[in-house]
Amino acid sequence: MSNSTFGISMLSIAVIFFLLAIPAGAEEYPTIETGYTYIDGDSCDVFTYPSVDKLSHMGLSNGEVAYSKDKDPLIYIWDNRTGETNTFDTTVIAEKKDTWISFWMEIKCLDISKGAVYYSLSTHKTTPTGTSASSKGLFSFDGANNENIVSQHFIYELLADNSLVLVKDFSYFDGEPHIENMRLRVYSHDSGDIITIDNRTEINDPMGFGEYKVAVLSLSSISETVGDRVQNDGIVVFDIEPALAGGEVKEIVIPDATEISSDEKVNVNQDCFSDRYFVWSKGVKTSDGDNGQYQSTLYVTDLDTLENTAIDTNEHPDFGLYAYAVDGDYLIYKNDDGIFLYNIPDGEKKEIRITGNDEFEVGDIVEFDEGELLVRAYPKDYPGYEPSEYEIWFVDLNPFINPVEAEASETGAVETGSNEPGNPETPLSPSVSVFALVAVFVVFAVLQGKR
């Protein structure tokens, strides 16, 4: 072999290694692979993917998951530390009357905070004259005692955090004026006080709650009653901590989240607050017409500085229900087919791959608490799949977020699949691979021409 041929050969090898060292495009991120713990599953018309039901039917707090099932009077409480599930039968609350042919209890919504499950309950009864329902109000169950917090009030929706319960209440207390809309109220489990935050909320308005903050917005474009909140008002954020100390509820104005035009849409998810951050999305129409195209941006607002940071975008009107949850400095969110873990202060982003199940995949991000994640999984689109089926999964991300604390604690949970991190190296882009092959072909063609 001549020196020139040897040089060209070495050059071709150098080209290959250089191209292999080129990182993939910006869409590729380090990957976390982790298993999950199966909690329960069911089939019903309430949970279908993509989710449209705004009501909370499950919650996570301190390693405990509380949930209910459609047309099931039981409250289920699963403990990650023991792996055991305890139940409470709500039928003990209602006593069948002689005039009733039958009855069943409806758990309208529920959530859990610091060991107590909060739920709204109704009694559906059948009599010779027909079927009717009556609200039993708001309850709390701590594993031993069941307490009726508010009686005979129609509690349509609730969220719980820090032993506080945010509710949409359609009824009114003695001395209060009657209104057409629902009231946003907060119940304190510690003091027993009930604070009214707002009386401009409609039944289908999205709301978020956490760390003494409340977010709400209206989906209505037209106000039927003077003073109603409308879509153009955008997102309203309330700080309720001053009111819990005897003061007034404080309103926080989020930049670019108010005074929304007809070509814009904003939205919030239930788990949208950490102690410092607020997460929300905004879609802007990019083309005209009723079926115009949108670009939606997921934002994080620093509640100390009120500065917005754009995290990601997609081509939808918004990121959807159950698309994200925030815990401390970490944000979990879905975008198209990917699930991502985002460190807000550092701006570091990693993709999460939950392994161990070839038939189901994560559809709803329900709650993120103390490094632990609660999700609903739905069947993948394989032949014969049933879209109304779902599974409840628990995912411990502390080995990746708080590795020292995770190693020191023993939860006793058994996880399915690998809980080891994936290859931290940036994967090779397919376009780079093709380019490498073309370059090698060209180099060897040159070699052939020189022989």
Q: What is the mean pLDDT of the chain?
A: 83
Look at residue 425 in the predicted model and tell me its pLDDT: 33
Looking at the DSSP assignment, which residues form a beta bridge with residue 283? 265, 296
Look at residue 303 in the predicted model and tell me its pLDDT: 98
Look at residue 109 in the predicted model and tell me its pLDDT: 95
* HEC letters along the chain: CCHHHHHHHHHHHHHHHHHHCCCCCCCCCCEEEECEEEEEEEECCCCCCCCCCCCCCEEEECCEEEECCCCCCEEEEEECCCCCEEEEEHHHCCCCCCCCCEEEEEEEEEEEECCEEEEEEEEEEEECCEEEEEEEEEEEECCCCEEEEECCCCEEEEEEECCEEEEEECCCCCCCCCCCCEEEEEEECCCCCEEEEEEEECCCCCEEEECCEEEECCCCCCCCCCCCCCHHHECEEEECHHHHCCCCCEEECCCCCECCCCCEEEECCCCCECCCEEEEEEEEECCCCCCCCEEEEEEEEECCCCEEEEEEEECCCCCCCCCEEEECCEEEEEECCEEEEEECCCCEEEEEEECCCCCEEEEEEEEEECCEEEEEEEECCCCCCCCCEEEEEEEECHHHHCHHHHHHCCCCCCCECCCCCCCCCCCCCHHHHHHHHHHHHHHHHHHHHHC
Look at residue 387 in the predicted model and tell me its pLDDT: 65
For tokens 């982003």, the residue is 349
The pLDDT-based confidence of 434 (bands split at 50, 70, 90) is very low
Task: Render pLDDT for 335-362 as a digit per residue (tens, 0 to 9).
Answer: 988 999 999 999 999 999 999 998 999 9
Q: In what order do the strands lie in the sheet with 130-141?
A: 102-113, 116-127, 130-141, 146-150
- CA dihedral for 402, 404, 405, 411, sign (positive or negative): positive
Backbone torsions φ then ψ of 34, nearest 5 degrees: -145, 150
Average of per-residue pLDDT across 311-335: 95
The pLDDT-based confidence of 3 (bands split at 50, 70, 90) is low
Look at residue 93 in the predicted model and tell me its pLDDT: 87
Q: Looking at the chain, how many residues does it have? A: 451
Average of per-residue pLDDT across 380-384: 68
Q: Is the separation of the CB atoms in 426 and 30 below 8 Å? A: yes
Please determine, for residue 438, whether its predicted confidence score (pLDDT) is greater than 60: no
The pLDDT-based confidence of 224 (bands split at 50, 70, 90) is low
Look at residue 60 in the predicted model and tell me its pLDDT: 98
Which residues are within 8 A (CB) of 387 and not within 5 positions of it... i.e. 6 or more apart? 48, 49, 378, 379
Look at residue 27 in the predicted model and tell me its pLDDT: 62
The pLDDT-based confidence of 78 (bands split at 50, 70, 90) is very high
Q: In this predicted model, which residue has the larger pLDDT, 343 or 409? A: 343
Of 224, 274, 214, the closest CA to residue 250 belongs to 214
Q: Of 119-128, 189-198, 364-373, 436-445, which one has max mean pLDDT? A: 364-373
Query: Lowest-confidence range among 15-19, 74-78, 160-164, 281-285?
Result: 15-19
Look at residue 280 in the predicted model and tell me its pLDDT: 98
Task: Render pLDDT for 225-255 as a digit per residue (tens, 0 to 9).
Answer: 666 788 889 999 999 999 999 999 999 999 9
- To the nearest 10 degrees (0 to 180), the angle between helices 430-450 and 3-20 is 180
* pTM for this predicted structure: 0.83
Please determine, for residue 385, whether its predicted confidence score (pLDDT) is greater than 70: no
Average of per-residue pLDDT across 179-205: 88
Average of per-residue pLDDT across 363-390: 86
HSE of 147, CA atoms in CB hemisphere, 13 A:
12
Percent of the chain residues past pLDDT 70, beyond the cut: 79
Q: Of 120-129, 132-141, 277-286, 403-412, which one has max mean pLDDT? A: 277-286
Please tell me the distance from the alpha carbon of residue 128 to that of residue 213, in angstroms, as a whole number: 47
Burial status of residue 262 (CB atoms within 10 A of its CB: 0-12, 13-18, 19 or more): exposed
Task: Render pLDDT for 125-182 as a digit per residue (tens, 0 to 9).
Answer: 888 888 888 888 999 999 889 999 998 788 989 999 999 999 998 877 777 776 667 8
Look at residue 388 in the predicted model and tell me its pLDDT: 77
Please tell me the distance from the alpha carbon of residue 264 to that of residue 252, in angstroms, as a whole number: 21
Looking at the DSSP assignment, which residues form a beta bridge with residue 107? 121
Please determine, for residue 437, whether its predicted confidence score (pLDDT) is greater than 60: no
Burial status of residue 445 (CB atoms within 10 A of its CB: 0-12, 13-18, 19 or more): exposed
Look at residue 64 in the predicted model and tell me its pLDDT: 98
Report CA 197 to chain centroid distance, whole Å: 23
Look at residue 416 in the predicted model and tell me its pLDDT: 38
Please determine, for residue 440, whether its predicted confidence score (pLDDT) is greater than 50: no
Look at residue 418 in the predicted model and tell me its pLDDT: 36
Percent of the chain residues past pLDDT 90, beyond the cut: 55
Tokens, residue 435 = 């380019």
HSE of 415, CA atoms in CB hemisphere, 13 A:
18
